[in-house]
Amino acid sequence: MARTHMKDVRARVAVGAAAAAVAATIWGVTTVVDRGHDTRHQNVSRQSDDPGKGADAADPAAPGNPVGKVPDGIAHASESGGDAVNITIDDGPDPTWTPKVLAVLKKYDAKAVFCMIGPQAKDHPDLVKKVVADGHRLCDHTLDHNTAMDHKPFTYQQQQILDAKKMIEEAAGGGAKVEYYRAPGGAFTPESRALAAANGMRPLGWNIDSKDFSKPGAAAIVNTVKSELGNGPTVLFHDGGGNRAQTVEALDQVLAWLKDQGRPTGFPVVTGPSA
């Protein structure tokens, strides 16, 4: 019985090693990716078991982080540190709402990361160029915004991420780069994080979901942001996916409040730790 058990163990180890070798070949890296917790829906607030909070998150040469690329830990922290707040805008660009969001950001000299859907960027290159020209940063939010993509094969995730990145960068022109990757609904996997990092995109989480997508009213959106800002610096808003009038109004009020509080806006870390 003991011999049979040991054979089973050796067989499982061999299978695991083979799978790791295949994964390393697919991703073009020589290290085994962290098989940490599935981070879907865990990036809304700081989680102690977030795989992005280990030492690997700050070390591009650590396992899962190919040398010369960015860490694969999910970023939340601000490059500006201190009381800086990261504004992130998802699901655009949209010809109606993105210009209005840009106008509000300009009004307060605020910066943001725009997490764009690939086909949306392809259809509205003028807006992508405007986002870059105004000093904001670009984020890959996949081709189809499939919130169940963490249950899809790696080849599907690869296409969703890399094809969207190409569309966004081609729309931006001028050598502009996509610096972040945000999984739809927070549906990250260790594989998708490693893929994004190997292609120069830091996985991007959030600490405060403004709930603007459900259109609860501008006042409710503002109250959510104010009450949850203690969770961390990165706030999630939307400029796509429907009527975003409440978002525009709420963003104006939030930025005015941050200004009164003496809190600047910043960008999420690309190469630094995730916390």
Kind plus residue range of the DSSP H or E element containing 14: helix 2-27
Give me 114's structure tokens. 């725009």
90 is catalytic: yes
- Is-contact 102 258, C-beta < 8 A? no
Q: Which of 50, 56, 72, 90 is flagged as catalytic?
A: 90
**How many beta carbons lie within 10 A of that of residue 67, not counting itself?**
10
126 is catalytic: no
Q: Which of 50, 136, 238, 239 is flagged as catalytic?
A: 238
**How many beta carbons lie within 10 A of that of residue 1, not counting itself?**
5
Which positions ≥6 away from 168 have C-beta within 8 Å? 116, 118, 121, 128, 138, 140, 178
Active site residues: 90, 238
